[in-house]
């Protein structure tokens, strides 16, 4: 496009230091957020500094292009979607300035993530209070754009309440610092000329001449009318004029932010959470107004839909006990038994008039109930926070005295409370996978009404959706009257997509009738057409403000308001993701169903480098190298690949997308984190394999594929003569040939176990011959070809330790596991291997023996890749579980030596699929006198052969540097994964022991 080429040329000449992308793949990745819409931009720019922003705005002149700012890309209503230029701040502009403890202020760049900022502030005892559920990836710039709030806003307020100053660039390229001032100071500026004077003049006119209308139209609510907040811009009593209140919530339609100065708050040192369970959602909703009298920090509600889907999420194992035991039935928890997380009754006795902690719904302490226990329909999470326990105890006592209309459980352990809030934060993603083609989708998801009217409003809202025959999920900030409602629709069905208009209209009228707002938290986005309904006679003033700030309508056009005579987008005039997805043929839709299901919640954009998902994104900050980006590319490619007779343009676009999709998937380490940690379970490794099969079916495979596909057969031969294999492989000529012809570097040396140290081979016949009592003691070690070839002593150590723990140990000798075939898309060959491996394992498991493996990543294939191909699943128990069981039953022998305390590092796939493994290893090691502390890390960057590919060297090392470099500074470390031990050895020179090796050593003396 000539205009884009002209813009990029101008930027290059002006010294723009950021990145620019205008390829089809990058534009496709940028075409969606967390909303139902899909709008492909013309190009995406990634500024590195504030001056880049100003250069960009100036270069935009006369190009005819628009500009839309983007932060975390978590908008639920298309706030940062547009067909012009997207300015993405999240890649580079993530700088945090110095914290000023005297004023409690700090300056940040727009791309700083909320969790990142709070991690920076934590040592100072401060935090930035607006706590959105997407805190792991939501940026401060985006929070300013929507005037975000979130949990606890009743106490802590909204983002705009913490604004000290904004450095912005105006539509003509003028840099401008926005700060509070007196009316006289504002009038002095307004008396001048230029765009800054025009803005002040227009804003002053409106807030002074329309003061009565503003007071009448803006609701007196915690979740007030956002998007050009005239109500707060001028405070006559304080003589305070601050245009920051106009910019906060303006969604980038007025100016582009370069930096933000914030006031931060003291972080309470302690907290407690009351979990109240109800048999009816309406009861839970109506109880909120009673509970508010205890003055908690927050009351959040979850309905049965959220709780039901949560049971299939990885989070459930860590929260089920906290929710009262058999949490699908109200009334089953035991109030006399606090659990290990500190959950239990209040430390003072309940009285006859109080509601029992853990009692049946509606049952008072000391009274009998003739009714059966009732199915759980809702929960209220009620949080108290303070610097001392006495204040929290007083709040909990007040709550108990009020008498919640459901049974209550108190959680005091901070980590446990964090797990429960994680469940709440995942609600959006969870509702996207309720099952079937319908998903919980956002378009009426953040209504807000006066809190005292919420229960009645919700009753009518539910009746409205029931009238359309829809299912739906509800959760949210009940204490401030803001409820998140997600109707379940399949937008690939035109009839269901057509419901968006009537439901939106009906909900808008309903919220207005209750004195509330259609957008109570997430901003307006493409819902700007409803602005006149809520702003009434003030709407023309919004148009005047937009014209003063952005007379040519270049900043995020079509949203919120437009200069008079120019259009605002309508919700049914913007392309939907479902419109494109319905063009994918059934076969491809089935193969790539998880890509289609991706709702864009962006959990894979999490800031913390210690989080397992997603290593390639964390190291590159390239959204195309994330599960969401890959899902977007796969969807677009699958749509075009479904066309039987594409036009030349369609074929060209398909081929370009295929190349971009292949490149994106090439950097996926197949760690499986997205398989479980993504709320929607966007399983990229599975789709990577399926894409590769289709991709290479139409192209000749490179030599590397053909050679690597035979690797496990070659390993079997090399294991028979490891010394010779090492001499050959270790020569400089061999290294050069491997890198030149196959593209592999730093391959590990062979290290096989002495056959005399290995247990006998298992067979069904041998097991059937054993007495039942003896068979119950049998554990079968499932060897994998990689550990057997390169880390064989680990297998021998595992056999010795298990034997010492009282197990009778047999083994399955190493077989091909076919993982490389799977990743290369050689799925037919892999399926044959999977059937053989599964049949072998099934024959043993059906005899009642347990299987285990020394390497979790390959052992877990029996429940993942093998299961996908065969429809069967065999549990290969973790070594740590077997050893911990022996310890707990007193079967573990006494160690004969002591060792220093160890750091315990887990394989990323193990962390994703078996999240309790490290804690169980720590318990097992403790039984032998070994203190081992699980260390939170992400991926090490090796991932089988990935880290050995020459093309991946920089990325592999960058990923290692994210979390493993700091965790591997000395020899006091244990690593459960073979890949991790290999990567650590090659990059630090130090090889961590497998935990079972250390146990073996302390037993050997």
CB 603 within 8 A of CB 618: no
Fold of 270-432: Alpha-Beta Plaits (3.30.70)
Cα–Cα distance list, 781 to 488, 758, 847 (Å): 46, 10, 15
| pLDDT score recorded for residue 368 | 30
| pTM beyond cutoff 0.75 | yes
End-to-end CA distance of the chain: 72
Tell me the CATH number for domain 583-699: 1.10.1060.10
Please give the pLDDT value at position 373: 55
CA 172 to chain centroid: 37
Q: Rg of the chain over CA atoms, in angstroms?
A: 30
Q: Which residues pair with 487 in a beta bridge?
A: 472
Walk along the chain (1005 residues) in steps of 10 and give the mean pLDDT of each run.
91 96 98 97 98 97 94 95 98 98 98 98 97 95 96 94 98 98 98 98 98 92 84 96 97 98 97 96 96 96 88 79 60 37 36 30 30 75 96 97 95 92 80 77 94 96 97 93 94 97 98 94 93 95 98 97 94 96 96 95 95 97 98 98 97 98 98 93 97 96 92 86 74 75 88 92 95 94 94 97 98 94 98 97 96 95 96 96 97 92 97 96 97 97 95 97 97 97 97 98 91
Q: For tokens 């220093």, what's the residue?
A: 900
CATH of domain 105-266: 3.30.465.10
82, 68 contact by CB (below 8 A): yes
Give 436-522's CATH code, choosing from 3.30.70.2740, 3.40.1710.10, 3.40.50.11060, 3.20.20.105. 3.30.70.2740
Tell me whether the CATH fold assigned to 270-432 matches the one assigned to 436-522.
Answer: yes
What residue ranges do the domains of the chain occupy?
A: 105-266, 270-432, 436-522, 583-699, 711-1004
Edge-to-edge strand ranges of the sheet holding 902-905: 932-934, 902-905, 973-975
**760 secondary structure, DSSP code:** P
How is residue 879 written in tokens? 């070594």
What pLDDT shows up at residue 324?
A: 66
CB 482 within 8 A of CB 223: yes
pLDDT at 336: 32
Going from the C-alpha of 138 to that of each of 50, 158, 203, 623, 633, the distances in angstroms are 20, 14, 30, 14, 22
Name 647's Cβ contacts closer than 8 Å, sequence gap at least 6. none
């Amino acid at each position: 496009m000539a205009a884009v080429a002209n813009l990029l040329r101008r930027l290059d000449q002006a010294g723009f230091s950021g990145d620019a992308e205008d390829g089809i793949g990058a534009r496709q990745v940028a075409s969606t957020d967390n909303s139902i819409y899909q709008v492909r931009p013309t190009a995406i720019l990634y500024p590195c500094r504030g001056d880049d922003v100003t250069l960009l705005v100036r270069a935009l002149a006369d190009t005819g292009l628009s500009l839309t700012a983007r932060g975390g890309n978590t908008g639920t209503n298309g706030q940062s979607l547009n067909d012009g230029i997207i300015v993405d701040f999240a890649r580079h502009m993530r700088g945090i300035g110095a914290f000023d403890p005297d004023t409690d202020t700090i300056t940040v760049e727009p791309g700083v993530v909320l969790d990142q900022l709070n991690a920076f502030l934590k040592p100072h005892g401060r935090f930035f209070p607006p706590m959105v559920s997407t805190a792991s990836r939501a940026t401060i710039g985006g929070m300013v754009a929507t005037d975000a709030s979130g949990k606890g806003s009743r106490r802590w307020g909204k983002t705009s309440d913490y604004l000290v100053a904004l450095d912005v660039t105006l539509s003509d390229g003028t840099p401008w610092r926005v700060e509070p001032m007196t009316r006289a100071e504002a009038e002095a500026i307004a008396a001048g000329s230029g765009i800054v004077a025009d803005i002040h003049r227009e804003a002053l006119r409106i807030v002074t001449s329309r003061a009565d209308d503003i007071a009448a139209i803006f609701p007196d609510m915690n979740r007030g009318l956002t998007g050009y907040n005239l109500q707060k811009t001028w405070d006559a009593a304080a003589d305070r004029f601050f245009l920051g209140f106009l910019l906060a919530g303006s969604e980038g339609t007025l100016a582009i932010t370069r930096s933000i100065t914030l006031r931060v708050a003291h972080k309470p040192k302690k907290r407690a959470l009351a979990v109240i369970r109800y048999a009816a959602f309406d009861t839970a909703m109506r109880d909120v107004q009673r509970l508010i009298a205890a003055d908690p920090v927050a009351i959040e509600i979850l309905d049965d839909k959220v709780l039901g889907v949560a049971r299939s999420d990885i989070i459930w194992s860590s929260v089920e006990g906290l929710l009262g035991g058999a949490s699908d039935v109200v009334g089953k928890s035991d109030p006399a038994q606090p659990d290990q997380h500190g959950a239990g009754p209040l430390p003072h006795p309940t009285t006859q008039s109080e509601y029992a902690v853990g009692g049946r719904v509606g049952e008072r302490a000391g009274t009998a109930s003739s009714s059966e226990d009732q199915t759980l329909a809702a929960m209220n999470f009620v949080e108290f926070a303070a610097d001392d326990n006495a204040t929290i105890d007083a709040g909990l006592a007040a709550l108990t005295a009020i008498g919640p209309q459901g049974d209550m459980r108190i959680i005091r352990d901070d980590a446990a409370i964090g797990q429960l809030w994680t469940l709440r934060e995942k609600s959006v993603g969870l509702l996207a996978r309720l099952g079937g083609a319908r998903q919980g989708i956002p378009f009426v998801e953040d209504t807000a009404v006066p809190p005292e009217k919420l229960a009645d409003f919700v009753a009518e809202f539910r009746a409205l959706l029931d009238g359309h025959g829809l299912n739906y999920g509800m959760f949210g900030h009940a204490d401030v009257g803001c409820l998140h409602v997600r109707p379940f629709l399949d937008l690939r069905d035109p009839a269901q997509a057509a419901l968006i208009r009537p439901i939106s209209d009906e909900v808008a009228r309903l919220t207005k009738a209750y004195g509330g707002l259609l957008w109570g938290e997430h901003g307006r986005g493409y819902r700007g057409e409803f602005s006149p309904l809520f702003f009434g006679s003030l709407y023309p003033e919004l148009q005047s403000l937009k014209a003063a700030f952005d007379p040519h309508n270049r900043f995020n056009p079509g949203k919120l308001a437009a200069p008079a005579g120019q259009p605002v987008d309508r919700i049914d005039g913007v392309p939907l993701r479902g419109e494109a997805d319905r063009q994918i043929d059934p076969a491809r839709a089935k193969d790539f169903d998880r890509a289609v299901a991706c709702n864009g919640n962006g959990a894979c954009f999490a800031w913390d480098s210690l989080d397992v998902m997603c290593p390639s994104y964390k190291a590159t900050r390239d959204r195309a190298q994330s599960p969401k980006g890959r899902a977007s590319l796969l969807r677009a490619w699958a749509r075009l690949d479904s066309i039987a007779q594409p036009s030349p343009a369609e074929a060209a676009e398909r081929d370009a997308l295929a190349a971009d999709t292949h490149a994106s998937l090439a950097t996926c380490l197949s760690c499986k984190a997205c398989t479980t940690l993504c709320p929607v379970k966007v399983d990229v490794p599975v789709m990577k394999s399926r894409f590769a099969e289709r991709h290479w079916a139409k192209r000749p495979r490179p030599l590397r594929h053909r050679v690597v596909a035979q690797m496990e057969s070659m390993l079997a031969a090399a294991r028979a003569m490891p010394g010779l294999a090492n001499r050959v492989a270790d020569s400089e000529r061999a290294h050069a040939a491997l890198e030149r012809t196959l593209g592999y570097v730093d391959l590990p040396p062979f290290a096989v176990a002495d056959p005399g140290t290995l247990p006998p081979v298992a067979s069904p016949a041998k097991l059937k011959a054993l007495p039942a009592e003896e068979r119950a003691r049998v554990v079968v070690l499932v060897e994998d070809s990689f550990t057997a070839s390169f880390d064989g002593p680990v297998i021998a150590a595992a056999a010795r330790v298990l034997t010492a723990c009282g197990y009778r140990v047999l083994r399955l000798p190493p077989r091909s596991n076919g993982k490389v075939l799977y990743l290369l898309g050689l799925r037919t060959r892999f399926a044959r291997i999977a059937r053989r491996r599964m049949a072998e394992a099934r024959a043993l498991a059906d005899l009642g023996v347990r299987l285990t493996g020394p390497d979790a990543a390959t052992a877990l294939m029996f429940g993942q890749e093998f299961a996908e191909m065969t429809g069967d699943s065999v549990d290969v128990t973790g070594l740590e579980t077997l050893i911990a069981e022996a310890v707990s039953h007193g079967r573990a022998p006494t160690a004969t030596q002591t060792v220093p305390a160890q750091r315990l590092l887990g394989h990323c796939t193990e962390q994703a699929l078996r999240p309790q493994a490290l804690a169980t290893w720590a318990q097992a090691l403790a039984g032998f006198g070994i203190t081992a502390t699980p260390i939170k890390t992400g991926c090490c960057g090796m991932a089988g052969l990935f880290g050995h590919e020459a093309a991946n060297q920089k990325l592999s090392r960058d990923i290692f540097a994210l979390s493993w470099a700091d965790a591997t500074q000395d020899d006091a470390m244990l690593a459960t994964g073979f890949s991790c031990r290999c990567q650590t050895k090659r990059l630090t020179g130090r090889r961590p022991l497998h935990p079972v090796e250390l146990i073996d050593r302390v037993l050997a003396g």
